[in-house]
């Protein structure tokens, strides 16, 4: 065992970075001082917008009866496709869609067509929310109703291969080796079909927009988004404004899970409504509207064919996916990517099929592709283990990929073996009875299952600015967003450590397009990219001070070579004679510098050239970085207890161990893994949005009817991280954990259910009817 469970106490490189610091924004949140995007209520003349949405999934609007609605007091406008001002560009045009950079290729209120249930057909604006709601209820929409298509399962649905199209190439057909021939020749052949229900993200905070035109050509939008820059680009392009004319602010988010990763129709409609009435307008989606306004994880079927030798070595993996898409977009999560890279396997093939239906576009949902893809692969690996009588961990070790099979590249780092070993130890895996359906706790069946997790470090870059004041405080900024997972906190830690200041002396600001540009908080890139940019900004600031010091006759460092000077805990000193030096405050006061500012870029696969003192950066490895495959890895272990009479499944124990590079905060990181695992347990056991196959409408669009885990559904969870120093990924060596926390979770649960019951459920969620 070469892991170190007490990483945070023993890690010699950890200063305040890595420590379980409490959330710096926690107090503001519980005191109600944290302002979310629907809480900017002091804007002059603020009024309220409500979406009127379509009850039918397909048809054509033939008219509106606005008489009763317009008579109501306080009603300012009823905006429909008939009177809405034209935009410079809309995503309805495929080329414009790319320029706008949105996910959804149709903007409601641009014509009389109805493509999906829940589609906005009018925006009603009034002086109070209640008046807007009432007027929207009175508004009558006349529709020539047509028969909708609900999903790929409809016999009338026409399947097509999205890779044959020019646009929207999200899910390429991949061939490596000769998978068909290898599968045909394999002594062990498994062919299984896996289905995944529609899942909705359901962040606690719904989508919300407050739009304020401060001048005819100057707009500020308070928006519930995972990316202010992406929203700024989308809005400015649609409105025909330049980027600097549109400011987007997102100070706090109540979760996102991917649904706030793009700019959706309600945002631009709110901006247009504000223009229309000439006053600031606020719109917050209702919970039912959240099911039709910001995407979802698509309904999908995967067929995985797995060929193996008699001793359990994979020889072929063939993955096919079919899912439902909207009338205009070709999005499918790329499930096959993880199937292609997780295990050593010489032959691989993947293909995708889509069917258009009267639904809105699906979108990234936590671990898009990796989560459902790992359900298929990790369930089939479990099948293989049982079929051959090999332990589930052992079967994975026999297929351990020493390099990335999908690219042939070496890993930048990989601690998966340690994750298996430590997870097994914490869980007590060695005590598991290899036979399924025989372990009992009284009348309950007990099952133990495990699965591998992995998520890539995506290509990303972003900027940060750090300003250090001579009095010993600092303001550090990056236009990132904090989904609620801890960006404010971990960036404060990174800045404090790099500056040698106590965390209380550092203020980290984010969530504003006025700040240096950061990437979307999505794809698990924020922690690595933003922390690296913060780190680099501080290095830039030190370089400026070092130059001042060596030119200053009164400095102990006068005439030293800048390259010979280092900064440790805020003290500038000679590398080979640390006694010779001075702290930044002394230098700055003598030089009459009130403050000094640095800018830095955090980049995927780099940072080494400049970040010479970065704990995880190695300048010599800079050129090698792009030639490495960069992934985090982990393992989940699950115990379930199944009631054999009722078919209910309860998760009773949980262990997750991950190797994800440097961990910035032990507490928020643990919370991320717990949160992602619960998200996955929800997908495994209860989450499903039901779309009526005749009407193409959701039947359970509320949190009363769409079941998510509550505290009583979740046991205490054990989370650990393997100490891992990755010299390639970025200046801070951070891989990110937002998505990997959920990868493999559904399979770990399903595998535990199999071990408990001897019944393999390949249809998510695993509801009691599927167990009995």
Q: What residue ranges bind ligand MOS (CB under 6 A)?
A: 226, 256, 258, 261, 364-366, 368, 522-523
How many Å apart are CA 123 and CA 231, to the nearest integer?
20
The nearer residue to ligand MOS, 139 or 367, going by C-beta atoms, is 367
Cβ at position 271, least distance to ligand MOS in Å: 23
Terminus-to-terminus CA distance in the chain, angstroms?
A: 41
208-215 and 281-284: which strand pairing? antiparallel
Residue with tokens 């470090």: 457
Q: CA gyration radius for the chain?
A: 27
Whichever of 418 and 521 has its CB closer to ligand MOS, that residue is 521
Is 217 in contact with 189 (CB distance < 8 Å)? Answer: no
- To the nearest whole angstrom, how small is the minimum distance from the Cβ of residue 140 to ligand MOS? 38
| Least distance CB 493 / ligand MOS (angstroms) | 22
Q: Which burial class, exposed, middle or buried, applies to 179 when counting CB atoms under 10 A from its CB (0-12, 13-18, 19+)?
A: buried
CA-based nearest residue to 59, from 129, 174, 149, 139: 149
Q: Of 338 and 476, which has the nearer Cβ to ligand MOS?
A: 338
Task: Report the alpha-carbon distance of residue 512 to residue 480 in Å, rounded.
Answer: 8
Closest CA to 50 of 134, 124, 135: 124
Cβ(177)–Cβ(387) under 8 Å?
no
Closest CB to ligand MOS among residues 259, 304: 259
Q: For strand 571-574 and strand 565-568, is the pairing parallel, antiparallel, or unpaired?
A: antiparallel
Four-residue CA torsion sign, 522, 524, 525, 531:
positive
CB of 247 to ligand MOS, least distance (A): 23
How many residues are recorded in the chain? 772
What is the spatial distance between Cα 440 and Cα 435, in angstroms, rounded to a whole number? 12
Q: What is the 3-state secondary structure (H, E, C) of 335-357?
A: CHHHHHHCECCCCEEEEEEEEEC
Nearer to ligand MOS, 53 or 365 (CB): 365
Q: Judge whether 703 and 287 are in contact, CB under 8 Å.
A: yes
User: Cβ distance 354 to 164 under 8 Å?
Assistant: no
> Residue 574 contacts by C-beta under 8 Å, 6 or more apart in sequence?
557, 560, 564, 565, 566, 580, 581
**Nearest distance, CB of residue 632 and ligand MOS, angstroms:** 14
What is the smallest separation between the CB atom of 297 and ligand MOS, expressed in angstroms? 9
User: Whose Cβ is closer to ligand MOS: residue 256's or residue 484's?
Assistant: 256
Nearer to ligand MOS, 294 or 450 (CB): 294
Active site residue 130: no
Count of CA atoms in the C-beta half-sphere (13 A) of 302 = 33
Is 522 or 661 the residue whose CB approaches ligand MOS more closely? 522
Residue by residue, DSSP assigns 175-195 as EES-HHHHHHH-SEEEEEEEE
CB of 285 to ligand MOS, least distance (A): 17
Cβ 739 to ligand MOS shortest distance, Å:
6
Q: Which residue is nearest to ligand MOS (CB)?
A: 258
Minimal distance, residue 364 CB to ligand MOS, in Å: 4
Q: Give the CA count within 13 Å in the CB-facing half-sphere of 701.
A: 20
E strand or H helix at 307, and its extent? strand 300-308
User: Which of the following is catalytic: 333, 378, 723, 739?
Assistant: 739
296 vs 366, which CB is nearer to ligand MOS?
Answer: 366
Contact yes or no for 88/79 (Cβ under 8 A): no
Which residues are identified as catalytic? 739
């Amino acid at each position: 065992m070469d892991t170190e469970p007490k990483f945070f106490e023993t890690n010699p490189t950890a200063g305040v970075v890595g420590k379980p610091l409490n959330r710096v924004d926690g107090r503001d949140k519980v005191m109600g001082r944290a302002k979310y995007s629907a809480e900017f209520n002091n804007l002059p003349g603020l009024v309220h917008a409500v979406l009127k949405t379509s009850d039918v999934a397909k048809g054509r609007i033939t008219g509106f009866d606005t008489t009763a609605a317009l008579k109501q007091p306080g009603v300012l406008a009823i905006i429909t496709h008939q009177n809405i001002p034209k935009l410079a560009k809309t995503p309805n045009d495929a080329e414009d869609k790319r320029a706008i950079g949105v996910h959804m290729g149709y903007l409601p209120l641009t014509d009389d067509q109805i493509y999906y249930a829940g589609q906005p057909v009018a925006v009603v604006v009034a002086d109070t929310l209640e008046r807007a709601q009432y007027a929207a209820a009175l508004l009558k929409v006349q529709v020539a109703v047509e028969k909708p298509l609900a999903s790929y399962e409809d016999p009338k649905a026409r399947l097509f291969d999205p890779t044959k199209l020019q646009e929207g190439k999200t899910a390429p057909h991949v061939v490596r080796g000769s998978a068909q021939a290898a599968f045909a020749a394999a002594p062990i052949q498994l062919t299984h079909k896996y289905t995944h229900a529609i899942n909705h993200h359901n962040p606690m905070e719904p989508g919300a927009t407050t739009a304020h035109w401060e001048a005819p050509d100057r707009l500020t939008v308070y928006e519930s988004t995972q990316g202010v820059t992406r929203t700024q680009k989308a809005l400015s392009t649609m409105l025909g404004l330049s980027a600097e004319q549109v400011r987007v602010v997102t100070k706090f988010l109540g979760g996102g899970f991917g649904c706030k990763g793009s700019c959706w129709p309600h945002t631009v409609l709110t901006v247009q409504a504000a223009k229309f009435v000439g006053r600031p307008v606020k719109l917050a989606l209702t919970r039912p509207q959240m099911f039709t306004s910001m995407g979802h994880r698509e309904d999908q079927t995967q067929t995985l064919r797995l060929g193996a030798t008699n001793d359990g070595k994979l020889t072929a993996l063939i993955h096919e996916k079919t899912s439902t898409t909207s009338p205009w977009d070709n999005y499918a999560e790329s499930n096959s990517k993880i199937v292609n890279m997780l295990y050593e396997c010489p032959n691989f093939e993947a293909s995708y099929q889509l069917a258009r239906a009267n639904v809105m576009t699906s979108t990234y949902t936590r671990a898009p592709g990796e989560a459902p893809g790992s359900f298929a692969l990790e369930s089939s690996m479990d099948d293989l283990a049982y079929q051959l009588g090999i332990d589930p961990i052992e079967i994975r070790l026999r297929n351990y990929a020493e390099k990335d099979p999908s690219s042939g590249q070496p890993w930048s780092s990989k601690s998966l073996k340690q994750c298996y070993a430590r997870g097994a130890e914490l869980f007590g895996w060695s005590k598991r009875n290899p036979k399924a359906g025989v372990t009992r706790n009284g009348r309950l069946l007990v099952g133990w299952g495990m699965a591998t997790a992995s998520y890539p470090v995506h290509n990303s870059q972003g900027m940060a600015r750090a300003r250090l004041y001579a009095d010993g405080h600092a303001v550090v900024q990056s236009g990132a967003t904090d989904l609620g997972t801890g960006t404010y906190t971990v960036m404060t830690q990174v800045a404090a450590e790099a500056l040698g200041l106590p965390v209380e002396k550092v203020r980290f600001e984010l969530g504003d397009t006025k700040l240096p540009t950061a990437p979307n908080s999505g794809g698990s890139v924020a922690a690595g990219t933003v922390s690296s940019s913060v780190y680099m900004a501080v290095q830039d600031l030190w370089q400026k001070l070092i130059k001042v010091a060596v030119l200053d006759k009164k400095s102990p460092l006068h005439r030293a070579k800048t390259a010979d000077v280092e900064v440790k805990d805020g003290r500038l000193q000679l590398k080979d004679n640390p006694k010779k030096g001075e702290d930044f405050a002394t230098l700055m006061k003598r030089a009459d510098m009130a403050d000094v500012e640095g800018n830095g870029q955090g980049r995927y696969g780099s940072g080494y050239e400049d970040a010479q003192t970065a704990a995880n950066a190695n300048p010599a490895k800079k050129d090698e970085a792009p030639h490495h495959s960069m992934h985090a890895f982990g393992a989940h272990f699950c115990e379930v207890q199944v009631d054999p009479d009722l078919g209910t499944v309860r998760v009773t124990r949980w262990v997750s161990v991950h190797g994800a590079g440097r961990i910035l905060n032990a507490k928020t990181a643990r919370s991320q893994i717990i949160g992602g695992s619960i998200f996955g347990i929800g997908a495994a056991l209860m989450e499903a949005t039901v779309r009526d196959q005749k009407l193409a409408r959701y039947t359970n669009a509320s949190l009363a009817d769409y079941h998510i885990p509550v505290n009583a559904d979740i046991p205490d969870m054990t989370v650990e991280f393997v100490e891992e120093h990755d010299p390639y990924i970025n200046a801070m060596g951070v891989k990110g954990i937002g998505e990997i926390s959920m990868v493999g979770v559904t399979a770990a649960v399903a595998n535990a259910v199999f071990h408990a019951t001897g019944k393999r459920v390949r249809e998510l969620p695993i509801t009691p009817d599927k167990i009995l």
